Amino acid sequence: METNNYYGALQKPLNSGFNAQSTSGEIIKGIDLTGKIAIVTGGHTGIGLETTKTLSNAGATVIVAARDLAKAEKNLSGIANVEIESLDFMNPESIDAFALKFLSSKRPLHLLINNAGIMWVPLRRDHRGYESQLVTNYLGQFQLTLRLFPALKKANGARVLNVSSYGHQMAPFNFDDPNFIHRDYDTLQGYGQSKTACNLFALELDNRAKEFNIRAYSLHPGSVLGTDLGREEPIELFKQMGTHDQDGNLKPEVAALLKTIPQGTATTIWCATSPMLHNIGGVYCEDANVAELDLGNIEHRFDDPSTIRGVQPYSLDHDNAKRLWDLSERMTGITFGI
């Protein structure tokens, strides 16, 4: 029996009872999270906000890590059991300060949901010279997860979720030049490799941490209508993909196929709570299920979101996962022997 998901050994859909139309409310029905503690990065907008609401309604205490505290205060007003803390993934000192404050509370951490992300932005770098999509979508979550590891161990049954994307199919991880120092910057390549990194990190973390009763997952929320993730995306890219008309408007026939925010949150909640995953980790999920391995058998069309699915084998590769872990330790300066 396979015990890890290297090379997609466990990457097989289950009979979850849910589908692409399922909502977070349907997933959480009957589940009591009273006494559980969750951290949701970016838990004040889009699917992150819906994640926070869903977990709170089920009784969990939710710590929302946000860069824009004023926006977080406004969006989270009236939601019970929520704590708001400052966190900026572009600032590694901010990550350490956030983690130290949580660890000082001596609380266990049952759910770490690495939800915060950016998409298709112009070239930006942090003060170390690292490219912003790599930092925000991946490297920050690596640092945060390792810093919070003592609290995850204390939970004795924790889950770590990396909100990834179908966008991982846009690029494997470029080990030779991850920060676009020696190649021209391409925002799709930058986004793609950052999401591939999320998958590889979940894969390797699960294998290293399961002995401490910590399991890890990566997931694709689906193509979701109504988030602000794409606020900086060049409209020309969407025109090329066939999702928008020549005036830059989303085509009605495409909009009708997109997920609502509660539907886009469903896979996060399923990965966080499903008893079907008690003994399975390191898998990439979508549509509230374990995703299908994409071996070239899926025809993808951006104007039909139902075809935007599957996981690439390179993002579940044993050697890539271990190589990325070593690189991430060097880039963050964190050596963590798990």
User: Any idea what the CATH number is for the domain that residue 158 is in?
Assistant: 3.40.50.720
Mean pLDDT of 9-32: 98
Banded pLDDT at 12 (limits 50, 70, 90) = very high
Mean pLDDT computed over every residue of the chain: 93
Which of 144, 121, 145 has the alpha carbon at shortest distance from 133? 121
Name the residue among 150, 151, 272 with its Cα closest to residue 221: 272
Domain total for the chain? Answer: 1
Residue 2 is predicted with a pLDDT of: 65
Is the pTM above the cut of 0.75? yes
CA quadruple 73, 74, 77, 79: dihedral positive or negative? negative
Residue 305: pLDDT band (50, 70, 90) is confident
Residues annotated as catalytic (active site), given as ranges:
191
Give the domain range for residue 304. 6-332
Q: Is the pLDDT of residue 51 over 60?
A: yes
Bridge partner residues of 37 (DSSP): 61
Give dist(CA 82, CA 319) in Å, integer. 39
Greatest Cα pair distance in the chain: 55
The answer on pLDDT for 239 being more than 60 is no
Residue 1 lies in a domain: no
Specify whether the CB–CB gap between 7 and 316 falls below 8 A: yes
Looking at the domain assignment, is residue 183 inside a domain?
yes
Q: Is residue 164 part of a domain?
A: yes
- Residues 37/61, Cβ–Cβ less than 8 Å: yes
Residue 337 placed within a domain: no
The string of pLDDT tens digits covering residues 148-166 is 999 999 999 999 999 999 9
pLDDT, position 338: 72
The pLDDT of residue 315 is above 90:
yes
Give the β-pairing of 284-286 and 289-290: antiparallel
Does residue 338 fall inside a structural domain? Answer: no
Strand order in the sheet with 284-286: 82-86, 61-66, 37-41, 111-114, 158-163, 214-220, 284-286, 289-290
